[in-house]
Every structure is written in structure tokens, then in C-alpha cells.
Amino acid sequence: MSRSVLYPEVLLLLSALL
């Protein structure tokens, strides 16, 4: 998996926690 795909998913997870 490319980083360009991982970064958006991580941001979504962080936004969900916040």
C-alpha cells in the first residue's frame, strides 16, 4: 500500500478520535 493511501486513512482515524 502506498503512503498516499495510508495518510488519508490515518487522518480520518485521528479526526474520529478527536
Cα-Cα end-to-end distance for the chain: 25
What integer pLDDT is reported at residue 11 of this predicted model? Answer: 94
What integer pLDDT is reported at residue 1 of this predicted model? Answer: 60
What integer pLDDT is reported at residue 2 of this predicted model? Answer: 75
Q: Tens of pLDDT along 1-17?
A: 677 888 999 999 999 99
Phi-psi region of 2 (alpha: psi -120 to 50; beta: other; left: phi over 0): beta
For 3-18, give the DSSP string: HHHHHHHHHHHHHHH-
